[in-house]
């Protein structure tokens, strides 16, 4: 596949998609402890594979009403869907490291998942999202 064909297939595969916000960490900002992934322990969903290349979906979330980056799972779950903007990207590690920004997305459904036998903080948020055109 050409780069253009790969990019178009990746954009098509992620027009409507699902990601999970979960406890994570950020070395540069210790107060930022949320990570976003599609493929995780709460889900059987897999990252998209385009032309034999796997693209890990990851993201950042922003509260558009209060104009700040969402930094925790609790904060994400407490924010109304209409006020959440997701900036989605796809990262490939093979054959070389590439990050492709897929655009901003609107949340049309948000659900809380708890890990079996987990602690109160051991939960994630499932986000069904759609790309803003």
- Among residues 28, 34, 29, 48, which one has the least CA distance to residue 90? 48
Give the residue, 10 or 31, on which the prediction is more confident. Answer: 10
Please state, in angstroms and rounded to a whole number, the distance separating the CA atoms of residues 80 and 116: 26
User: Which structure tokens are listed for 76?
Assistant: 């994400």
- Summarize pLDDT for 72-98 with one digit per residue, the tens: 888 999 999 999 999 999 999 887 789
**Which pLDDT value is given to residue 120?**
55
Band the pLDDT of 31: cuts 50, 70, 90: low
3-state secondary structure of 18: strand
Please report, for the chain, the start and end positions of each structural domain, with discontinuous segments joined by +: 3-131
Look up residue 48 and give its two tokens. 């998209």
Provide the terminal-to-terminal Cα distance of the chain, rounded to the nearest Å. Answer: 25
């Amino acid at each position: 596949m050409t780069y253009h064909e790969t990019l178009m297939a990746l954009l098509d595969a992620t027009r409507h998609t699902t990601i999970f916000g979960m406890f994570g960490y950020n070395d540069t900002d210790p107060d930022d402890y949320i990570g976003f992934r599609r493929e995780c322990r709460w889900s059987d969903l897999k990252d998209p594979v385009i032309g034999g290349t796997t693209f890990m979906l990851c993201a950042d979330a922003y509260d558009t009403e209060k104009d700040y980056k969402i930094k925790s799972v609790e904060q994400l779950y407490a924010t109304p869907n209409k006020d959440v903007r997701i900036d989605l990207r796809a990262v490939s590690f093979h054959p070389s490291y590439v990050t492709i920004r897929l655009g901003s997305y609107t949340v049309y459904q948000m659900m809380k998942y708890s890990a079996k036998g987990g602690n109160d903080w051991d939960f994630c948020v499932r986000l069904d999202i759609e790309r803003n055109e």
